[in-house]
Structure 1
């Protein structure tokens, strides 16, 4: 690969995930302070999966056929950055509406962002001489970008205020402008018509005739229900324990890189079934650690649960992608991977976001709600004080009062009961999977794909 192109693609992938990591995990730490409740946050984390279900049409029918991929990427990120800047203006207004922010701004933003996940992969692969060997080195820059965003949140102090959205919006616009200078990636010239059935991978449903693959696909969708709890709630456990939120949450992505490097070693010895099972077991252990650690604010348990993200993600999701690639006929592999993503990060995560919001609401005590009302009031007072040019000492005192109220709010939530529910659910999925999944793919066959 041309060294200049490598640098361009590396910057593109870094910024692509920096934008996402700048707000996605820590958003609840700010949104709750402006009036979002548990069900509102459930909707915040539902709009992304909904966008993920819709956008295959955008990418498959428009971007791949009519416009150069880098130009579509540029326009989408510029639009997304503009939407985020507009969202912050609403957030800073008096009594911002969670419904308007969720279904207007966040939904609009995710409709611009989700297609770019596929577009960046397309641009990268089409400008490589050997994608199989070159793509992993570019893709890892995305994970590093997410990690860098977490550290930047802590360094700037944006992890609990609107600054996170300013940072995401700025990075999105920077990537939008940069995308115009990426290597030209013209649309595919083809007379072949692509059906909606192909776009959503429905032809790959034929794989469900294989009982083990059907068990795997259903288990994958179900395990994404507890996955939503992690993205939606875990950062507030970190906040409760007074750990740096952005940096601590980044440990999950750091462990993801580490476990990705050692995956081939385990693949050769365990095979697909037990790799997947260990991945699901890690979910059970992680949420059990949160259940005890959050209740008593035991930091090592909370950090341990976050570090387990590497096993949770790599051993289950990456293994699942490799397994799907092995099971699907060559002509159906792209559709099979698309169906897997749609059922997991689309349907599974959407259901999970709603369930997480419902369960969080059930375990948010009246005491926690009372403290939250004071936090919202104090947040508005800080915004007004900054607009009025009140002395810094006064603003600092208001911030300290708000932080203490916020800590009391989080401490009043029934964390043990909350986290044990996804832990038990993940355990049920694990047991069902182990009992019903019987595939004859040899460990050595699967390891060849890693």
Structure 2
């Protein structure tokens, strides 16, 4: 792979995950200020997994068969940018409907975004001379892009306002245009592909292996508490007064570190205990949140976020490698696709709804009352700004400054009213139960995973 192609693929992967990181973690910090309740946030985080279960059909039957991958990538990102710009306009309207935002705009956007995750991998691998060695160096740029988005949110002051969605839309527009200048990646024309191959149904034969069945069920179940992290953790960070985007990025920085040291642990622990330690990290993380959030113990929250590296690498990456080991070569790609569908698709969708239910259950009336005041103050600020038509007088600016101060105070009072201990204790206990069941039932022979 020459330097020019490497740079192109690096920029592509960077922007691909910069887009996702621009809004996915911090969305509740803004949406909660325009009237979103727990159930609405649950739907915000359900539309992505649903899109993730639908879009393999598009990628497998259409994109991979009839069109050059880089052109499909460009069209999808440009369409996504249009949808996100439209969503921004709707958000800033009077009393925006959460259902329309979720099932109209966000679902539509995720239908355009999720196929691009597979397309960027396809474009990268097909333009490499040695994908096994070269792909990790390109893929890590995606994680760096997510980290950069978090820092940009903090530095730009977009962590709790609509600016995060502007960042997303602009980045999508840039990648959409840039995609047409990527190396040509023509469609695959040889052989037929079936629905069962697209959805990984041939890989169901792996379920005859008891250990793999235990693994796949545990993987799906552990994704239920995973949803709590994406939906709720950024509001804990806001509650304790840490910079939201930057602090949440510590998880991805940790991910890079633990990816580097994973081979050391592989050789000593084997599959079972790598997976078990990954699950234990979920328990510890949510335990730290449950204890640290009510008393605003920042160090506990930071450690909980840094544990993301172990949570992700030790469990999900190990699981991907374990799946690759267990599956015969003809069905390896299907097995990986089925794993993703059952975990980041079905598991995360169930988790999103469960997190919404738990959040609603442990959000007292006082928090709801404070939230109503946050929404009212936001509408008052918007009314003054709209009336001024871009030219604020000194009196108007003073009034807005006062309203912003009141809005922020109501927001902090709202977050302080949450029953954080129960909200995080439930996923901690759930993850602990899944871990114990896995440890006692999973009986794969201990051996280094790379043998």
- The match for 1:320 is 319
Separation in 1, partners of 2:343, 2:401: 44
- The match for 1:436 is 441
Separation in 2, partners of 1:400, 1:6: 48
Please state whether the residue corresponding to 1:253 is helix, strand or coil.
Answer: helix
Separation in 2, partners of 1:394, 1:235: 29
Is 1:395 the equivalent of 2:400?
A: yes
Please state whether the residue corresponding to 1:447 is helix, strand or coil.
Answer: coil
Separation in 1, partners of 2:68, 2:257: 35
- The match for 2:333 is 334
RMSD: 0.7
- The match for 1:250 is 249
Please state whether the residue corresponding to 2:160 is helix, strand or coil.
Answer: coil
Partner deviation per Cα, 1:20-46 (whole Å, 9 max, x = no partner): 000000000000100000000000000
Q: How far does residue 388 in structure 1 lie from its aligned partner after superposition?
A: 2.5
Separation in 1, partners of 2:187, 2:385: 49
- The match for 1:219 is 218
Is 1:268 the equivalent of 2:267?
A: yes
- The match for 2:284 is 285
Is 1:363 the equivalent of 2:366?
A: no
Q: How far does residue 392 in structure 1 lie from its aligned partner after superposition?
A: 3.0
- The match for 2:234 is 235
Q: How far does residue 396 in structure 1 lie from its aligned partner after superposition?
A: 2.2
Q: How far does residue 366 in structure 1 lie from its aligned partner after superposition?
A: 0.3
For residues 99-118 of structure 1, the aligned pairs below 5 Å read 99-118=99-118
Q: How far does residue 400 in structure 1 lie from its aligned partner after superposition?
A: 1.5
4+ residue runs over 6 A deviation? none
- The match for 2:424 is 419
Separation in 1, partners of 2:282, 2:385: 43
- The match for 2:410 is 405
What TM-score comes out, normalization by structure 2 length?
A: 0.98
Q: Is the 8 A contact 2:272 2:439 kept in 1?
A: yes
Partner deviation per Cα, 1:351-375 (whole Å, 9 max, x = no partner): 0000000000000000000000000
- The match for 2:175 is 175
Q: How far does residue 441 in structure 1 lie from its aligned partner after superposition?
A: 5.3
Matched residue pairs, number? Answer: 445
What TM-score comes out, normalization by structure 1 length?
A: 0.98
Partner deviation per Cα, 1:272-301 (whole Å, 9 max, x = no partner): 000000000000000000001111110000
- The match for 1:201 is 200
- The match for 1:27 is 27
- The match for 1:149 is 149
Separation in 2, partners of 1:164, 1:385: 22
